[in-house]
Each structure stands twice: as structure tokens, then as C-alpha cells.
Amino acid sequence: MAFDTETATAWITAAEAAVKTDEARLTGLDAAIGDGDHGANMVRGLAAGLTNIAERGPTTPGDVLVAAGRGIVAKTGGAAGPLYGSAFRRAGKALGDASSVEAAELGAALEAALTAIKELGGADEGDKTMIDALAPAVAAFQAVAADGGPIAAAAAAAADAAEQGLAATVPLQARKGRASYLGARSIGHEDPGAASTALILRALAEVTA
């Protein structure tokens, strides 16, 4: 199946439902190495993204993601607001005016999101951040797409890679974000930003399956 306005909207809807279901888990991860507000912030942010989509009535998948990103920036606060907001906006702009896109275009949009997060946050792979889930997910998505695989297969591979990336954050010492203030004490915990990124990519796999 192609990625169209309806699928894009379903993705944000599923992502919002996923963070709501897992709000307490995200907050618990953040309380261990941060300040314990990531669950509440992600729920508020994605709900604001959905509201903005409903108000603007976007007619392309790109516009859906831009609207979601603007809603997230406007309401989330913290680091997650600008980072996720810019990621969705940049991904939406990468899709352009197309009414429907295939795996290669969606893969390029996910890569644009990764670039946005790296630029804004100044973090890279191995810093124990959301990038440790997103970067392997983008690579996995693009590998499937390059082989001519469908969006469903690419998104499933991306979600698996994100979850593996999340697990791989456990032994890392945080170098960016609030967990970095703990130094070596940040080792031994999953990164909450990587956890929410894995949820959002699993939601993409579910709505495109």
C-alpha cells in the first residue's frame, strides 16, 4: 500500500494512542535518569498534533506531518517538543505535495526527520538519545526500500531496528540531554526518548501492515 493522507493521519493517531498506553512506562524511564515528565509531555504533544491535524484538514500526507509537527512544537515544551516537532515538520516537507508516496519517498522523509533532530539537538549515535532508536530504524527502512520492498515490510524492519536500538541504549552513558548530568549513573537504563521513538515507529508499522 502507498502512504497517503489517510495513512499519515492513522499513524499520528496510533502514535498518540501508543504513548497514552505507555505513559507510565515512559515517565518511569525518565524518572530514573531525567526528571520524570516524558510520558505526560509525549501525550500532550501528540494530542496537540492530532488536534492541529483536525483543525487544518490537511489534504496530503506531507501536510498531515507538517500539521502534526506544528501542533507538537506549540504544546509540548521540554526538549521533546522542538525535536519531535521539527522531525515531523521536516519529514512532511520532504514528502512535498504528493497525494501518495511509496517506500523510497517515505524513507527519505524519515531520513530528513533524523537530520532535523541531529541538527537541532547536536547529538549523534551513541549519545543515549532518541537518535539511537531512529538512526538504525531509518537505515533498516531504506535498506528494504532499496531492495524494492513495500512500505509495510520497510516499516516493520524499522520498528524492529528501533526496538533493538532502544535496548542497546541500556549500557550507554548519556552524553546529551538531562540524563548526561548523571554521568556514569545513567548507565543501565533505557533512554526514554529512544523508547518513545520506538513506540512511534511501531505505530507506523502497525498502520501500514
Question: Amino acid identity of 207?
Answer: V
Shortest Å, Cβ 37 to other proteins: 5
Whole-number Å distance between alpha carbons of 12 and 187: 31
* Residue 16 DSSP SS3: helix
Q: Please compute, for residue 137, the number of CA atoms within 13 A of its CA located in the half-sphere on the CB side.
A: 34
Residues 101-160 that bind other proteins (CB under 8 A): 120-121
Out of 7, 41, 52, 197, the residue judged to bind other proteins by CB under 8 A: 41
Size of the site for other proteins (CB under 8 A): 32
Contact 46, 16 (CB under 8 A): yes
Dihedral over Cα of 145, 147, 151, 155: its sign: negative
Out of 51, 115, 164, 180, the residue judged to bind other proteins by CB under 8 A: 180
172 phi-psi bin (left φ>0, alpha ψ -120 to 50, beta other): beta
Site for other proteins contains 169 (CB under 8 A):
no
Site for other proteins contains 192 (CB under 8 A):
no
DSSP 158-175: HHHHHHHHHHTTTTPPP-
Site for other proteins contains 178 (CB under 8 A):
yes
* Segment lying near other proteins (by CB under 8 A), choices 26-34, 51-59, 106-114, 144-152: 26-34
- Residues 42-81 as x/- pattern, contact with other proteins by CB under 8 A: --x----------------------------xxxxxxxxx
Q: In Å, how far from its chain's centre is CA 190?
A: 16
Shortest Å, Cβ 16 to other proteins: 18
Site for other proteins contains 187 (CB under 8 A):
no
* Residue 205 DSSP SS3: helix
- Chain residues binding other proteins by CB under 8 A are 27, 31, 33-37, 40-41, 44, 73-83, 120-121, 175-178, 180-183, 185
